[in-house]
Amino acid sequence: MLYDLLIIGGGINGCAIARDAAGRGLSVRLVEQNDLASGTSSASTKLIHGGLRYLELYEFRLVHEALAERELLLAAAPHIIWPLKFVLPHEKGLRPVWMLRLGLFLYDHLARRKRLEGSHMVSLKGNALGAPLRESYNVGFTYADCWVEDSRLVVLNALDAKERGATITVGTRLTRARREDGRWIATLEGGPEIEARALVNAAGPWVSEVIEGALHAHSRKHVRLVKGSHLVARKLYEGEHAYILQNPDGRIVFAIPYEHDFTLIGTTDVPYEGAPGGVSISEAETDYLMESANHFLRKPVARGDIVWSYSGLRPLYDDGSLNASVVTRDYAFDLDAPEGAAPVLSVFGGKITTARRLAEHALDDLRDFLPPHGEAWTQGAVFPGGDMEFDEYLVSLKAERPFLGDALALRLARAYGTRAERFLKAAHSTADLGRDFGCGFTEAELRYLAENEWARKADDVLWRRSKLGLHMSAEEQGALRAFMGG
Ligand SMILES: Cc1cc2nc3c(=O)[nH]c(=O)nc-3n(C[C@H](O)[C@H](O)[C@H](O)COP(=O)(O)OP(=O)(O)OC[C@H]3O[C@@H](n4cnc5c(N)ncnc54)[C@H](O)[C@@H]3O)c2cc1C
């Protein structure tokens, strides 16, 4: 089979390009060596944000594009994306009030905003927003960005791509590709050769490995791997708001309410030289994040409060910066298209937030190499399950299926939106959904994930299609592993 586009990598960028291209009528194949979102795209801070700190780095193009995406994505996936209020405490001796005010003024005005609140200066004394903080914090600012279930956004991109005709295969590594007669002939590990008119290298941290190892090519652009880690602690404070904490080293660290019972603390910027994959938090990063949180919080976080951590590699476009914290967060493409030969577009950098726009730009760059196809269409297009107003949908789900109970109805509405109906079908009790593996995760839900969302192993389910790994007991997880055979 000859595909128009072969995409390497099932992270946010590869899946967003697959969705966009399939919707334009192109024939698309995407291969992912492990699970969807098993690379960087499940290890982010999970914010759809403009990136307040990037203003200091004069990244106005990126901030403008990212800010504009916030409301668009909020409307397109209201189940997995929701507004999040941030509190930025002013710290004497760090950024002065006028500078914070100026930054937030720009943040408020760099892109159109209808649903998200603008910034305000607030007193932290006698205010619930200031209650978790040490007494020395008198004033701060509030502003809004959005929360996103990052790995679910990846899967919804893939699902939408599939429903528009793309073929997505997980557990499939591209090992080699060569150019022949104006086409790519690609070898997939353990599989047949496939042909494509154009290749997209969206391998994230592996982007250079694919260029040099699989394509035997060279790129004028290079990737800079920067590790970032997060801690998950038992809930450190009450309230639905997050904190953006300024560090004396000029960096910022977020503390964010997470999965109802926890607080997420992150992140770090650590230059990384090794092979991509399998990264984990170091003692030094744990100390750094704990110190950062404890500098601000009245009730300090102790080692015993930490229940989980995760790390990922930012596949940044190497702009030659000396300091890992200031390497550009914007994306760049390398389009290698020698006269008469099939093209490959390699993606460097990119955020969860900007993946939809990145996909549009990638297809603009590839347009002349592909058969005639449709125009950009994803602006305003809803993701699977997002065709509803969230609060109304939750009320109706609870009313129609009272047996779910409030907590499970909320979890299912958040995870699947209206797609939950597909496995709840005619169920009148939880018993109708088959075996309950714990936390209301039933055989019916598992079957839906396996048949529709490419879930093959227990970790796919526990840590990427959901975060049930934080909630299910070791025994429950063991039983799920035994049932799924791995
Ligand atoms: C700590 C941290 C915090 C972040 N926070 C945010 C945030 O809050 N908001 C935001 O918008 N962005 C954030 N980001 C940025 C964002 O997460 C990344 O830029 C994005 O996930 C990169 O996606 P990707 O698709 O390029 O790479 P990946 O998600 O890594 O996907 C690449 C995929 O390619 C696959 N692959 C590699 N080689 C092959 C091969 N030969 N064959 C088949 N498959 C292959 C890999 O298995 C992998 O799944 C953060 C990043 C980090 C690290």
* Cα within 13 Å of Cα(437), Cβ side: 24
Q: How far is the CA of 137 from the centre of ligand 1 (A)?
A: 36
Q: For residue 203, how far is its CA from the centre of ligand 1 (angstroms)?
A: 8
Distance of CA 13 from the midpoint of ligand 1 (Å): 7
> Cα(303)–Cα(191) distance, rounded to whole angstroms?
46
CB atoms within 10 A of CB 61: 10
Pick from 19, 41, 42, 356 the residue to mutate for probing ligand 1's pocket: most ligand atoms within 8 Å of its CB: 41
Centroid of ligand 1 to alpha carbon of 224 (angstroms):
13
Could you tell me the two tokens for 373? 């196809």
> Does residue 4 contact residue 20 with C-beta atoms inside 8 Å?
no
Tens of pLDDT along the chain (486 residues)? 899 999 999 999 999 999 999 999 999 999 999 999 999 999 999 999 999 999 988 899 999 999 999 999 999 999 999 999 999 999 998 999 999 999 999 999 999 899 999 999 999 999 999 999 999 999 999 999 999 999 999 999 999 999 999 999 999 999 999 999 999 999 999 888 999 999 999 999 999 999 999 999 988 899 999 999 999 999 999 999 999 999 999 999 999 999 999 999 999 999 999 999 889 999 999 999 999 999 999 999 999 999 999 999 999 999 888 787 788 889 999 999 999 999 999 999 999 999 999 999 999 999 999 999 999 999 999 999 999 999 999 999 999 999 999 999 999 999 999 999 999 988 999 999 999 999 999 999 999 999 999 999 999 999 999 999 999 999 999 999 999 999
Task: Tokens for 380, please give them.
Answer: 């305003």
Q: Please choose from 206, 267, 281, 282 the residue to mutate so as to test ligand 1's pocket, defined by most ligand atoms within 8 A of CB.
A: 206
The residue nearest atom 15 of ligand 1, judged by CA position, is 351
What is the predicted pLDDT for the residue at 218?
87
Q: What are phi and psi of 215, to 5 degrees?
A: -100, -10
Q: Minimal CA–CA distance to 23: which of 170, 192, 171, 162?
A: 162
Whose C-alpha lies nearest to ligand 1, atom 9? 47
Dihedral (CA of 383, 387, 389, 395) sign: negative
Q: Dihedral through CA 7, CA 12, CA 18, CA 20, nearest 10?
A: -140
- What is the residue-wise DSSP string for 80-137? TEEEEEEEEE--TTSS-HHHHHHHHHHHHHSS--SSS---EEEE-TTSTTTTTB-TT-
Torsion of CA 405, 407, 413, 416, to 10 degrees: -110
The predicted pLDDT at position 324 comes to: 79
pLDDT of 238 reads: 95
Q: Say how many Å lie between the CA of residue 407 and the centre of ligand 1.
A: 31
- Residue 37 and residue 155 in contact, taking contact as beta carbons nearer than 8 Å: yes
d(CA 257, CA 259): 7
The answer to whether the beta carbons of residues 462 and 472 sit under 8 Å apart is: yes
CA-to-CA distance for 192 and 170, rounded, in angstroms?
Answer: 15
Nearest to 23 by CA among 331, 382, 385, 449: 382
**CA of 347, closest atom in ligand 1:** 26
> Which one of 35, 36, 44 would you pick to mutate in the ligand 1 pocket, going by the greatest count of ligand atoms within 8 A of its CB?
44
Q: Which helix (H) or strand (E) holds 215?
A: none
User: By alpha-carbon position, which residue is closest to atom 51 of ligand 1?
Assistant: 44
Q: What is the pLDDT of residue 322?
A: 79
φ and ψ of 414, to 5 deg: -65, -45
- Best substitution site from 40, 226, 289 to test ligand 1's pocket, by max atoms within 8 Å of Cβ? 40
What pLDDT does residue 120 have?
Answer: 97
- Within 6 Å (CB) of ligand 1, which residues are found? 8-14, 31-34, 38-41, 43-47, 49, 173-174, 202-206, 210, 214, 228, 267, 312, 314-315, 347, 350-353
pTM: 0.98
φ, ψ (nearest 5 deg) of residue 98 = -60, -35
Q: Which protein residue's CA is at the shortest distance from atom 52 of ligand 1? A: 44
In this prediction, residue 395 carries a pLDDT of 98
